[in-house]
Amino acid sequence: MTDTILEARDLTVYYRTKKGPVHAVDGVDFDLRLGETLGVVGETGCGKSTLGKTILGILPPDSLRSGSLRLRGRELLKVGPSEYRKLRGSELAVIFQDPMTRLDPLMTIRDHFVETIRVHEPNVSKAEATERAAEALRSMGIPQSRLDNYPHEFSGGMRQRIMIAMAIVLKPKLLVADEPTTALDVIVEAQILDILRDLKRAYSMSLLLITHNLGIVAEVCDRAAVMYAGKFAELGSVQDVFRRPIHPYTQGLLASTIHLQTKELRSIDGLPPSLLEPPSGCRFHPRCPYAKEICIREEPPMVEYRPGHFAACHFGRDFL
């Protein structure tokens, strides 16, 4: 996994509002390698979904973007809407959080696939598109006989399988999965995760997995990025981040998870800050039990404390 498929440098995304700009993503750096799965975790409102939408080019038209975001060397921030539509499918694909809101209730599953395939490949016949749809569905465990069913005739887990099949039917190089197991029970969740693992092996795809669930990241991902208030607080291999976390925010998230040995519930005091007016210095300092004067005054840089393990904390060495 030496080749880089996606490269972000000082990536910044602001939303314009009447009260001022919302600093949704604020100076993020990372690389995603070919065939790698990167998990992006953090509380609600920390910028995870905005990061995914930026990669896919589906931000609101009045959003402000700066920095650099390169897909296989191509600068995505300079790509126009029509060019972006061509990239989606063969290069980029997405699995959304709630498949019921993404599938048209008036269209059969066959129609969904035929439309998706022929928009990107106009020369493909209806019959060929149907055959490719059937093949993609079979790989998800859904028989061809269900092609003429409507979305409401499927369970939530099967609808999510259909969304995954639609995402991979054009064999993209990069798949963005935004909370793909939300609202699914644990058995179906495990099945979806198995499918994502199998897809990565079968198609040599890179996967950016956005989730609140640390257990999913531990099970599926190669590396983890912990996001807080529009910035990366920590980035490293899953083994390093989970077993030897450096940033106090990462430590707090891990301490808040429930497992078989849990005897009492723990949480991080306070709430994530408003991204209209983020805190000065380290954005986590209002909630950090270790915060000192420098944390309020100066923003900590991302430092490589171990090979490939980065954290943005003034006192990171104290947690090694």
How confident is the model over 164-218, as pLDDT tens digits? Answer: 899 889 889 999 999 887 767 788 888 888 888 888 788 788 999 999 889 889 9
C-alpha distances in angstroms, 20 versus 12, 16, 277? Answer: 15, 6, 9
Q: What are phi and psi of 270, to 5 degrees?
A: 85, -170
**Which residues pair with residue 209 across a beta bridge?**
39, 177
Mean pLDDT for back-to-back runs of 10 residues, the chain (320 residues): 86 95 96 94 94 94 94 94 87 84 91 94 94 92 94 90 90 90 79 83 88 89 97 97 97 89 87 95 97 97 97 95
Sign for the CA dihedral angle at 142, 144, 145, 147 comes to positive
Closest CA to 274 of 12, 31, 47, 1: 47
- What pLDDT score was predicted for residue 188? 82
Secondary structure (DSSP) of 39-92:
EEE--TTSSHHHHHHHHHT-S-TT-EEEEEEEETTEEGGG--HHHHHHHHHHTE
User: What is the per-residue pLDDT across 24-44, written as a single tens digit (0 to 9) for each?
Assistant: 999 999 999 999 999 999 999
Taking CA 195 as the corner, what is the angle to CA 177 and CA 175, rounded to the nearest 5 degrees? 30
- What pLDDT score was predicted for residue 2? 53
- What pLDDT score was predicted for residue 1? 44
d(CA 155, CA 149): 12
- Predicted TM-score (pTM) of the model is 0.91
d(CA 312, CA 319): 12
Lookup result for tokens 């650099």? 68
